[in-house]
Amino acid sequence: MSQELAFLPVSKLAPLISSRQISPVELTKQVLQRIEAAEPKVNAYITKLTQQALDEASAAERNILAGNYLGPLHGIPIGIKDNINIQGIKTTAGSAVLAKDIPNYNASTVDRLRQAGVVIVGKLNMHEFAYGATTNNLTYGATHNPWNLEYIPGGSSGGSGAAVSASECIAALGTDTVGSVNTPAALCGVVGLKPTYGRVSNFGVIPLSWSMDHVGMVNKSVTDAALTLQTIAGYDPFDVTTSSLPVPDYTSNIENGIKGLRIGIPRYYFFDRIDPEVKQQVEKSIQVLIDLGATPVEVTLPAELELSFLLSFTIVFSEASSYHEPLVKKWAELYSPDVRLYLGAGEAITATKYLKAQRLRTSFKQSLNLVMEQVDVLVTPTVPSPAVKIGEDFVVINGQEERVSQAMFRYTCPFNLSGQPTLAVPCGLTEKGLPISMQIAGRAFDEATILRVGRAFEAATNHEFQPAL
């Protein structure tokens, strides 16, 4: 059976399904076939839900034939990161600690996807407890980058990035605390969207850091990201951090172009210590936006930007250690060494340092809001370097050695700290054939504008390339 449908985005599949030119069963079978072909190499899944997916696809087909089409995600095969609860399906968070954990309720995002008629094909691999940048998972095996199997897909949502890139699902949910959706999307050559903090519910998600966790999505196109966000966004009474602000129609203006929009370019920090190929390609991509009618504005971000990585990890380490304290007391030996090390570091952070980090975070957010009054979006690289080989702990960027765990999150963590929405859009390949990505950051709860900018860039450039897996 051909697998060609598995390579198409939601935006192309949905009209075919709604008009009954293809069936959800046909599509799901092709995606499952693709999983069987790719998984021995990629290892994007922890749990495959083959029979359940076929049953859900059959139910979707019956509903559509009966005239009950639910919208663009109806009958679309989707993967779910394995720290997001699905009732009755084990949710391991990529750890031996929760290897037998079977939740008795769905995450709110899963409930909303179910209501939209999606087909869930499996639970995706991840860095253990979402606590890392590589998805070199010691319990379930490393996930491999579909563009080159010797390289990392990024983390912590590495399974989500790799599965969408390898067409082992049409879309995927992930989670992002300091860059864990957009980094894998960038390294795997697909689209990542981290919404504003509070735009999407975290209920039913195993936390890493309560005040910084976001549920995000990985997609094949910018329009697909808009459609996925439309489905899961909005207030949730089970999550007090969610906003009651109305959810707009994210696709209504997505094709309107960007003429007259102000594109902020923060060269300091984002264009200094960076791989030359990445810098060159992102600069070219910014010029594309200018050629499309956007107005470039050179901006300087707040001084706290230099502290954003330190502030982020002071908060993350503290909050993660607080959550894991009872689990560590029972099952310390089941944690992987890197996660156990991070948890130990978090236990050593004082309340004084944690509160100081939160105060500086507030100051940074307020200062960044003032910058955003000057522009409509900010445009930066998503990561300073292409993917590194699996097992490498350090990367050399412009002659300077840096830990992979720091380099991969250096450009994303400032916007997790501020809670702003960010979009990662593929913008080219290195000479070695590894993806390069551009990051678009917007004002709080203005996902519509970053999606509009991303879509304009996508429409003006070639995005038909696929990994030769």
Q: What is the tens place of the pLDDT at every residue in 7-48?
A: 999 999 999 999 999 999 999 999 999 999 999 999 999 999
Indicate if the pLDDT at residue 2 is higher than 60. Answer: no
Question: What single-letter DSSP state applies at residue 440?
Answer: E
Beta strands in 222-347 (DSSP E): 262-265, 295-298
Does 156 qualify as catalytic in the annotation?
Answer: yes
Which one is catalytic: 157, 165, 180, 336?
180
Q: What is the pTM assigned to this prediction?
A: 0.97
Boundaries of every domain in the chain: 4-460
How many contiguous H segments (helices) and E segments (strands) does the chain have? 15, 15
pLDDT, position 75:
98
136's enclosing H/E stretch is: strand 136-137
Say how far apart CA 199 and CA 53 lie, in whole Å.
Answer: 28
Q: Which residues of 188-197 are buried (b: 16+ CB within 10 A; e: fewer)?
A: bbbbbbbbbb
Indicate if the pLDDT at residue 308 is higher than 70. Answer: yes
Which one is catalytic: 23, 29, 48, 81?
81
Does 160 qualify as catalytic in the annotation?
Answer: no
pLDDT, position 1:
39
Helix, strand, coil percentages (3-state) for the chain, rounded to 5, are 40, 15, 40
Q: Which residues pair with 81 in a beta bridge?
A: 124
Say how far apart CA 428 and CA 347 lie, in whole Å.
Answer: 41
Structure token digits, residue 425: 């859009």
Instruction: Walk across the sheet containing 77-81 and list its strands.
Output: 45-48, 119-124, 77-81, 171-176, 214-219, 191-194, 422-429, 435-442, 377-381, 262-265, 295-298
Say how far apart CA 42 and CA 175 lie, in whole Å.
Answer: 20
More reliable by pLDDT, 464 or 424 = 424
Instruction: Say how far residue 5 (Cα) sits from the centre of its chain.
Output: 23
Mean pLDDT across 202-209: 98
Q: What 3-state DSSP class applies to 19? A: coil
Indicate if the pLDDT at residue 258 is higher than 90. Answer: yes
Structure token digits, residue 88: 């009755």
pLDDT, position 178:
97
Neighbours of 212 (CB within 10 A): 21
Q: Which residues pair with 200 in a beta bridge?
A: 233
Say how far apart CA 125 and CA 155 lie, in whole Å.
Answer: 10
Instruction: Say how far residue 440 (Cα) sits from the centre of its chain.
Output: 13
Instruction: Say how far residue 141 (Cα) sits from the centre of its chain.
Output: 20
Structure token digits, residue 110: 């899963």
Neighbours of 405 (CB within 10 A): 20
Compute the mean pLDDT over every residue in the chain, rounded to the nearest whole number.
97
HEC string of 182-218 equals HHHHHHHCCEEEECCCCCECCCCECCCCCCCCEEEEE
Question: What single-letter DSSP state applies at residue 307?
Answer: G
Mean pLDDT across 120-134: 98
Which one is catalytic: 23, 95, 108, 156?
156
Does 58 qualify as catalytic in the annotation?
Answer: no
Give the CATH number of domain 4-460; options: 3.90.1300.10, 1.10.1040.10, 3.90.1510.10, 2.30.29.30. Answer: 3.90.1300.10
pLDDT, position 438:
98
Q: What is the tens place of the pLDDT at every residue in 361-418?
A: 999 999 999 999 999 999 999 999 999 999 999 999 988 999 999 999 999 999 999 9
pLDDT, position 330:
95
Q: What is the tens place of the pLDDT at every residue in 173-205?
A: 999 999 999 999 999 999 999 999 999 999 999
Neighbours of 466 (CB within 10 A): 14
Residues recorded for the chain: 469
